[in-house]
Amino acid sequence: MDNLKIAATERSPAVDFDFAAGRLSLKGESYPEDASAVFGPIFAALEAFLGAARGREVTFDFDLTYFNSSSAKALMNMFQMLDQSADAGCRLTVNWFYAADDDTMKEFGEDFCEDLSHVTFNLVSVE
Amino acid sequence: MSSFNLFDAEEKSLEQAEDLRRRLEQAPGPVRDGIASLIEAYSRSVREQRRLVRVSDRLQAQLASVNQELGKRKAEAEDALESLKAAQESLVQAEKLASLGALVGGVAHEINTPVGIALSCASHLADSTAAIAKLFEADDISVDDFERFMATVKDTTGLILSNVERAAELIRSFKQVAVDRTSSERRRFDLAAYIRETLASLGPHLRQAGHAVRLACPDGIVMDSYPGALSQVLGNFIMNSLVHGFDPGQLGTLSITVEQEEAGSVRLVYADDGKGVPEDHLGRIFDPFFTTRRGSGGSGLGLHIVYNLVTGPLGGSVAAESPEGGGTVFTLSMPLSP
Q: What is the pLDDT of residues B70-115, one digit of tens each?
A: 999 999 999 999 999 988 888 877 776 776 676 677 677 778 888 9
| Lowest-confidence region among A69-83, B74-88, B228-242, B297-311 | B297-311
A43 to chain B: which residues are within 8 Å by CB?
4
User: What's the mean pLDDT in B18-47?
Assistant: 91
Chain A residues with CB inside 8 Å of B3's CB?
36, 40
Interchain pair B9, A80: CB under 8 A: yes
Any idea how long chain B is? 338
Per-residue DSSP letter, B267: E
Domain residue spans of chain B:
186-338
Segment 35-54 of chain A within 8 Å of chain B by CB: 35-36, 39-40, 43-44
Angstrom CA distances, B163 to B107, B112, B120, B177, B203, stand at 15, 10, 11, 21, 16
pLDDT at residue B240, rounded to an integer: 87
Residues of B235-272 as b/e, b for ≥16 C-beta within 10 angstroms?
bbbbbbbbbbbbeeeeebebbbebeeeeeeebebbbbb
Determine the residue of chain B that is closest to A44 in CA distance: B1
| Spatial distance between the Cα atoms of A83 and A29, rounded to a whole number of angstroms | 23
pLDDT tens-digit series, residues A41-67: 999 999 999 988 888 999 999 999 999
| pLDDT, position B64 | 87
Say if residue B180's pLDDT is above 70: no
Q: Determine contact: B123 vs chain A, CB below 8 A.
A: no
| pLDDT tens digits, one per residue of B211-254 | 999 999 999 999 999 988 898 899 889 988 988 888 888 889 99
What is the pLDDT at residue B302?
77
Identify which of B4, B7, B56 has the shortest CB distance to residue A40.
B4
CA-based nearest distance A83→chain B, Å: 15
Among the residue ranges A16-20, B12-16, B36-40, B209-213, the one predicted with the least confidence is B209-213
Residue B39: per-residue pLDDT: 94
B6 CB within 8 Å of a chain A CB = yes
How confident is the model over B249-273, as pLDDT tens digits? 888 999 999 999 888 999 999 999 9
Taking the Cβ of residue B61 and every Cβ of chain A, the question of whether any pair is shorter than 8 Å is answered with: yes
Number of domains in chain A: 1
The domain in which residue A68 lies consists of 4-126
- CATH number of the domain within which A80 lies: 3.30.750
Nearest 5°: the CA angle B231, B232, B236 is 120
In terms of CATH architecture, what is B186-338? 2-Layer Sandwich (3.30)
Question: According to the model, what pLDDT value does residue B1 have?
Answer: 44
Whether residue B5 and residue A36 make contact (CB cut-off 8 A), yes or no, is yes
Mean pLDDT of chain B: 86
Distance to chain A for B55, nearest Cα, Å: 9
On the question of pLDDT at B2 being above 60, the answer is: no
